Amino acid sequence: MEEIVIAEEIVRYYRRFDENHQWLTWNSACWTIVKPVDHRPDLWEIATTLSRSGDDYEIVRLDVREGGLTLGKLVLFVEILDDGYFLLDPYDMYGSEDTVVRVLSERARVWSLSWVSPLMRLTHMEDREILVQSPNLHAYTRMYGTMPHLLDDELDFVWHLCEQDGTVPGVAEMMAVMELATGVRMNDDFVAGTGTALIIDDPIR
């Protein structure tokens, strides 16, 4: 019972998040959570991984909402966690590409959610292997991958809650699935302020 209450609170949180940050949830974006198996990379290691040459990047502080637009460059925002990190590509110019997710999944577990509202895509990889993927996520979507039922508990809970509410699962509900699966939250403060940004001039593709 306690787990259900916690899960319902998580869904409610992201519905409020959706209302407060429609510039993000109503456009195209990508949120990727990375949990390394052993070594947690620092900012420079993450940037090096995403750069073809390994050194053509900058690490700066930028406004999360406007920073990438004003520069006209590929910008990924990074939040370092105790057991990994997450990346936010506020306009999904790069973050959801399979090559990117696959490289990040080397010796790591990766969950990546991208959307161009109302279409959503969920990918879960480990060691370059697609465990779960849905190219066009909505209720009762068929999941692909080597372990297609791995996220069934999280997805079924959200589908059931939406059926009770008479609503259709959207970006908010899928962000809740990400937190239910990983324990990682996208905080209001993170998207409303300035953040650590990687500017990658020669991205891997």
Per the prediction, the chain carries an average pLDDT of 90
Per DSSP, the residues of 54-86 read S--EEEEEEETTTHHHHHTS-EEEEEEETTEEE
User: Maximum distance among all alpha carbons in the chain?
Assistant: 51
Q: How confident is the model at residue 84 (pLDDT cuts 50, 70, 90)?
A: very high
When pLDDT is averaged across residues 99-104 and rounded to a whole number, the result is 94
Nearest CA to 31 out of 190, 175, 148 is that of 175
Q: Which pLDDT score, from 0 to 100, does residue 98 have?
A: 86
Nearest CA to 185 out of 79, 50, 74 is that of 79
| Domain locations along the chain | 2-200
* Tens digits of residue pLDDT in 43-54: 999 999 998 888
Q: Which pLDDT score, from 0 to 100, does residue 137 have?
A: 67
Question: pLDDT higher for 121 or 92?
Answer: 121
Q: Tell me the whole-structure pTM to 2 decimals.
A: 0.94
Is residue 116 within 8 Å of residue 133, measured between CB atoms? no
